[in-house]
Amino acid sequence: MTKQKIVLITGASSGIGKATAKTLVKSGHKVILTARRQEKLDKLVAMLGEDNALAVAADATQFDALEKVVKAGINKFGRLDVAFANAGTGISISGTEQGDPDEWSKLIDINIKALLWTAKLTLPNLRETKGHFILTSSVAGRTAHKGSIYGASKWFAYGFGQNLAEEMAQWGGRCTTIAPGMVNTAFFDEPKPDKLDPVDVAEAVLFAIEAEQRCNVREIFLMPTH
């Protein structure tokens, strides 16, 4: 039987984060949920059960706010086994020449800085449990897309995940970079029902954390079948 894991999820109020929380709790794990909107998190906790989930609203780009999330989770559950750095955003104007620097700044804050803050704040706890760090990159972080600043941020995430896996291996920790293709979430203005579903990514997270401890699933690359 798989050991129950205590899992922190950023960007947990919708899309991939929400689907992952539901999938993990259904499989017997417990979750610490954070996102900016407390009301959405509270609804999710009501669905999952207060014994299984804790919601702490925070802006993941704010180091001090995220630190409070980690501390609250440890206070409730006593340890941390997995951190899933899933919070992310896109931009509305593609290309470098026509791009909006203010939008780029916000993108870097959430897609890069929040990822770093999550790792910095959770690694001491993960070291204690020989735990697991998981992050959401993208197919856009593995292939070239003309003028894509978003893609460049996901290249950072992809490279960071590979490097972090080497760092964590020194003390028996595991790191998984998940690189999905297009996922049908609110990220897009129009629904994409022929693309991946958030539950597909959630099941990839579950697969990675439930793998035998000797097996470090370092990367999962997901693409729609059609």
Looking at the fold, whether 118 and 144 belong to one and the same domain comes out as: yes
Q: How many domains does the chain have?
A: 2
In a domain, 188, yes or no: no
Domain that holds residue 69: 7-79
Residue 189 clears pLDDT 80, i.e. is over it: no
In a domain, 56, yes or no: yes
Which residue is catalytic, options 133, 150, 158, 160?
A: 150
Q: How far apart are CA 127 and CA 100, in angstroms?
A: 39
Largest CA distance in the chain: 54
- Asked about 158 being catalytic, the answer comes back as no
The CATH number linked to 125 is 3.40.50.720
Looking at the fold, whether 151 and 226 belong to one and the same domain comes out as: yes
Q: What is the pLDDT of residue 132?
A: 98
106: tokens are 């916000």
**Entry pTM:** 0.94
CB 44 within 8 A of CB 119: no
Looking at the fold, whether 173 and 146 belong to one and the same domain comes out as: yes
DSSP 226: -
Q: What is the pLDDT of residues 190-216, one digit of tens each?
A: 666 778 999 999 999 999 999 999 999
